[in-house]
Structures are given as structure tokens and as C-alpha cells.
Structure 1
């Protein structure tokens, strides 16, 4: 009886442990690229990247970029990202800054084609998903730093 009870407890503990490993998680990175401040959040489950959300902000005074230069930068970006399945693109040109929002849905059937068109880290050979570690490595190489999550003060 004790062994049966112990076996059931161990089995349930294993199931809960596996369920916890497959929980959706996210990490946020910050960096700057050619006069723009960028915040990117990677959402993943296990080692599979599900979504990448990026906000690019060009503050004209802070970044030393004029409004017309910012428009040109975002126009180039728009040509790359707009109209591709799996990618949501939005831009706003404001009085003091330009803001671009891009959401890339990696949980799509055409992930290989999408990543190739855009020129971003794609699936490894033989895989049908993008590994979050590969994207993190590329971001760190480009100078991005992981932003630590905010913690509640108890």
C-alpha cells in the first residue's frame, strides 16, 4: 500500500514538473541600433520561440535624428516588414519622436519562408520552429542586454 501511494505521488509530481516546464515564458531585451532605442520581448515555450514583439523609438533630439531622417528609416523598415504573413507592423510619426511596433508570430506554418524574407534568425536545419536560444545569441551579439523583470517589494 505504501509503495503504491509513493508511486502515485511520484507520478503526479512528475506530471506537474513536466507541465511547469512547458509554461509560456518571456524575456525582454533593450538596446539601440543606428539612432533608435529598441525594446524587444521574446515569448517562448520550452525552446520554441512563439512571438517577438519590438518597439523601436527614435527621439529626434536625444538620438540626433531629424524628423525627415526618422521617416526615411521607418520607410525602409516598413518595406521589409509590411504585408508579410505572420508579421504585424505599425508606425507613428509624432512631433518629438517616431515609434515603430512590430510583432512577429513564429507559431506559423510558413516560419522558414517568413524568416528568410525578412532576414532574421530562422529555424535550424531540419527543424520547423525557431529556437529561442539562437535569437537570444543573435540579440546579445548585436549589443542588446536582457532587462531584468520587475519584482514586487514585499
Structure 2
């Protein structure tokens, strides 16, 4: 009887602890100089676990005469980003603008160097093994760079 009670208590405690570490989200938006950007942070407590970044930029703003020129200039980045564990990048070349989707799963990032050349990514690293991104400091960086937090 004592073993059954102890087992039930352990299972119940594990369930409650799992429920306490629920992943939440916070979304930030910026529109500036022909660039529209939305950053959605997924976090547990004070650690960002994933970021999803959607960006739309006009070719004119980027200094490209056409979508073909933008595609050519962006090709290396597309290939480089998608070869890194934890990083998924997709670009959609529209008539007058490029729309990109970048998802970074920090739990799967093996090396901090994989993040150093990502354009448009704002974060504050607390630890590099494993990569831990601080939610509060990252939020401050986003706001300093003109992002506004959206109500969810």
C-alpha cells in the first residue's frame, strides 16, 4: 500500500511540474523604412526556446533592381541557413518584395557561431552550452530597435 501511494504521489508531482513549465509566446512587430518584421518568441520561464521571424522588404529598400537580382544575392544565405541544425529559412520572392520566414529552435542549435550571421535576429545569450537565450534581455533589445509588443 505504501509503494502504491508513493508511486501515485511521484506520478502526480511529475504531472504538476510538467504543467508548470508550459511554453508561452510573445510577439513583436516593427515597420520601418520599407521593412515589415514580426518576431514571435516562444519561451519557458525566462528562457527563449524558439524564435519565428517573418520579414517583408521591398527590393528597392534592399537596393535590388528586380526579384531575380534579390534571389541571386540571397541564394547563399538560403543554403547556409538551412544546413544548420535548428534553423529553417524560406524566402518567397514576390513582385516587388521579398518575404522571408526564419525559425530558430534554440534547443537544437549546436554552435553559437550558427547564429552570428543571421540578419534581423535579436537575442541575448545567457549560456552557450546549451544555447540559452534570455527572454527579458531580448525583449529589451527588440524594444530598443523599434519593435512594439503585440497583445496576445
TM-score normalized by the length of structure 1: 0.66
Matches within 5 A, 1:57-76: 57-59=56-58, 68=66, 71=70, 75=74
Q: Distance in 2 between matches of 1:35 and 1:74?
A: 18
CA 1:51–1:111 in structure 2 vs 1: closer, same or farther (change >3 Å)? farther
Q: Is the 8 A contact 1:28 1:42 kept in 2?
A: yes
**Shift of the alpha carbon at 1:121?**
3.0
In structure 1, runs of 5+ residues without a counterpart are 1-11, 150-154
CA RMSD, 1 decimal: 3.6
Matches within 5 A, 1:1-154: 21-32=20-31, 34-59=33-58, 68=66, 71=70, 75=74, 78=77, 81-108=81-108, 110=110, 112-118=112-118, 120-124=122-126, 128=130, 129-149=132-152
Q: Is the 8 A contact 2:50 2:104 kept in 1?
A: yes
CA 1:37–1:76 in structure 2 vs 1: closer, same or farther (change >3 Å)? farther
In structure 2, runs of 5+ residues without a counterpart are 1-11
Q: Is the 8 A contact 2:39 2:54 kept in 1?
A: yes
Q: Is the 8 A contact 1:74 1:91 kept in 2?
A: no
Q: Is the 8 A contact 1:111 1:122 kept in 2?
A: no
Bigger share in strand? 2
Q: Distance in 2 between matches of 1:97 and 1:48?
A: 33
TM-score normalized by the length of structure 2: 0.67
CA 1:93–1:126 in structure 2 vs 1: closer, same or farther (change >3 Å)? closer
Please list the CA deviations of residues 1-53 of structure 1 after superposition, one character each: whole Å capped at 9, or x if unmatched.
xxxxxxxxxxx9xx85x655421100100003552100110001111111100
SS in 2 for 1:108: coil
Tell me what 2:9 maps to.
Answer: none
Q: Is the 8 A contact 2:59 2:70 kept in 1?
A: no
